[in-house]
Structure 1
Amino acid sequence: MADESLLALIESQLEKDPNKTFSDLCKEALWQALCVPESVRPSPPPTPQPVPTQGVELQISELQRQLADLEERFFAKESNRLEMMERHLTQLSQQVAQLAIMVHQTPAIQSPTPSTAVSEVVNHTVTTTYTATPPQDVDPVISRLSQYLDDF
Structure 2
Amino acid sequence: MLWANRKQTQSVTFTEDAADQTLLDAIEKELSQAKYQTFSNLCKQALWQFLLLSKSEPTPPPPPPEIPNLNPPQVLPVLPNLQPLEERLSEIHNKLTDLEKKVIVDDGTKTEKLETQFHQLTEQVSQLQTSINQKLAQLATGLETVKSQPVIIMESKPPQPEPEPETVSPSPEAMAEADPLLKRLGSLLDDF
Shorter chain as normaliser: what TM range?
A: 0.3 to 0.5
TM-score, L = length of structure 1: 0.45
TM-score, L = length of structure 2: 0.37
| Greater C-alpha radius of gyration | 2
